[in-house]
Structure 1
Amino acid sequence: MQLTVISLWFLMNLLGFDLLPWERYVNLGSAGQPLGSAINQTSLAHQHFLIGYLCLHSFHYESAQEAFAMALEEDNTFVEAHIGRLLGFVSITQTLWEYMDREGTLQAWNETWAIFNNSNVTLTPYQLAYLNTVYQWFAYENISDGEDVFLQSMLNLTQTFPIDTDAQTQLGLVYLNIAIRETFELQMLEPPAMLEARKVLQKVLAQEPSHPGCLHYLIHACDIPRVGSAVQAIPYAHSYREIVRTASHAQHMATHTWIRIGAWPLAQEDNERSVNVSVILCMLKLNQMNSTDVLSFTFSELLIRLIVTEAQGLIVCDFEHVGHLYSVQGHMVIEGFFWLMYHGKRNQE
């Protein structure tokens, strides 16, 4: 049974549980059994965890870590929340980026095991295997070495537990990381690891067609300057932005595809929507409004209110995504120039 954040929120309110305003607002898609965990509908810890897990797959790492921390405040022996926290630490420093806070990640790892040992937590074979697999990602000082070992460990995990779509999705992401490295090392637009990422993620999508992480990573896997490959991401781009409506990065991701195929008006439209979503979510996270009031204002009114009251907070709140968005805007102008030159030349021929 798949559970959306919104349906769980209504259930939590009926049962008297409470969430933060931004948690009540978010609509981040759904997942079957995140990290292999069957969601307990009456547990606030599980509710926080599910929100964190879905934030993770839309690269909203700070929100994910906030949600995982709240889940662990409710139940510090919640194994999947610890795994999510570790994935968040690794992802924020390594996934599709080129730097790594290895000390911070190792500290989180040691804290996790201290809690497990002090509380006499008994891990299932799957939980232990997943934890040990994640460890490989940051056990090595050299990022490339860690990625290679993590890939092999994740392959072993998915072969041992073949029905787990979550691990398969993570496997696709690992292939995508390596593909980005291979693009430069092999001087190939579509290196072997990128083709493998698409293959793995498309298999997951056949089983979970609305999995937000799978859709997200498939867009990245097709994001190359080759129209024939980029057009493959069109259905993923449409689905992802419709399923994950309240994450700025999700609303922006489709622009990667639109830029590659020359659909400039769509790219501009989605970037504007991304800024809108970012401001609304930041209003809620900065405790300026509740989830009901925020929707009663126009975007301009929200922006004016936020600038007047929390201008500095806005910059900090969603800095990574808004900064990335505007860098893509600048890239869009350059990309458009070369795209028009290339296709104009081909048409003349």
Structure 2
Amino acid sequence: MYDAAQDAFTLAINTKPALIEAHIGKMLACEPVLWWQTNYKCGLEKYNFINANLAAAYPNETDIRVLWGLSLLNVAFEKEFQGEIEPPPMIQARQVLQEALIAEPMHPSALHYLMHAYDVVQYNISIKALDYVSNYEKLVGTLSYPQHLLSYIWMRTGSLLKSESPDEKSLQVCLTSCILEVTGRIVNVPSTKFEPVLAQLDTADQFSPFVITM
């Protein structure tokens, strides 16, 4: 029955590639019976296939192309590619995401995923992400995790001092948000105060005066 369903969905996709319901149905048909373990590999491949088809059907939709790049990265980090620095899906993900940047050079998600696509333990590969780091940095001034993300490539390229700066900014943004939530006040925490402030956020019910008056 499930095989027949897959065949039917395949026919629908071949007839009308932009029919999203057919792609989703084919992905769901990867689960053979309700009490068996879900065929994750099959589902992931179909998810990737869905995004590839949608990108082909809507070539001017940058967000769809970016999601396709992300789905390729998900495949690239699967067990079957362990030990490979540049598995084929990763190389394809770079190409797809770079094409997205042609349409929108500052697309934040495309820049984000390209940094992950070049975040490998080989200098001559990871250094190719520096332009993406530079552009992404312009977009993430008030966001904690994206600031931290910048340090990945700096670490890979051996720029240890440069990697410290985004991590410090990430902590500052995070602590400012936490203190605002607790006290209702915006407090800029200098890096010299990170350790005691983190300790108070973790254990104390109230902030000491030096935090409140910073």
TM-score (norm 2): 0.72
Task: Give the structure 2 partner of residue 143 of structure 1.
Answer: 40
Task: Give the structure 2 partner of residue 11 of structure 1.
Answer: none
Instruction: Give the number of equivalent residue pairs.
Output: 179
Q: In 2, Cα distance between the equivalents of 1:205 and 1:259?
A: 24
Larger radius of gyration: 2
Is 1:221 aligned to 2:117, yes or no? yes
Residue 236 of structure 1: CA displacement? 0.8
Is 1:190 aligned to 2:86, yes or no? yes
Say which of 145, 153, 156 aligns to 2:53.
156
Task: Give the structure 2 partner of residue 299 of structure 1.
Answer: 189
Q: Taking CA–CA contacts closer than 8 Å with sequence separation of 6 or more, which of the two structures ends up with the larger relative contact order? A: 1
Q: In 1, Cα distance between the equivalents of 2:139 and 2:92?
A: 25
* 1:154–1:167 Cα contact (<8 Å) kept: yes
Q: Which runs of 5+ in 1 are unaligned?
A: 1-124, 314-349
Tell me the SS of whatever aligns to 2:95: helix
Q: Which deviates the most, 190-199 or 232-241?
A: 232-241
Q: 1:306 to 1:235 in 2, by over 3 A?
A: same
What does 1:78-93 align with in structure 2 at a 5 Å threshold?
none
Q: Percent identity?
A: 30
Q: 1:137 to 1:162 in 2, by over 3 A?
A: farther
Say which of 126, 129, 132 aligns to 2:20.
129
Q: Which runs of 5+ in 2 are unaligned?
A: 1-16, 32-37, 205-214
Q: 1:281 to 1:130 in 2, by over 3 A?
A: farther
Q: In structure 1, what residue type is equivalent to 2:155?
A: I
Residue 132 of structure 1: CA displacement? 5.8
Task: Give the structure 1 partner of residue 172 of structure 2.
Answer: 276
Is 1:288 aligned to 2:186, yes or no? no
* 2:51–2:68 Cα contact (<8 Å) kept: yes
Residue 134 of structure 1: CA displacement? 10
Is 1:200 aligned to 2:90, yes or no? no
Tell me the SS of whatever aligns to 1:162: coil
Q: Which runs of 4+ in 1 moved over 3 A?
A: 130-140, 300-308, 310-313
Q: In structure 2, what residue type is equivalent to 1:177?
A: N
Deviations 1:126-177 (A, max 9, x none): 7x72896499489752432221110111111111222111010000000111
Say which of 244, 247, 250 aligns to 2:140.
244
- What is the root-mean-square deviation of aligned Cα atoms in Å? 3.1
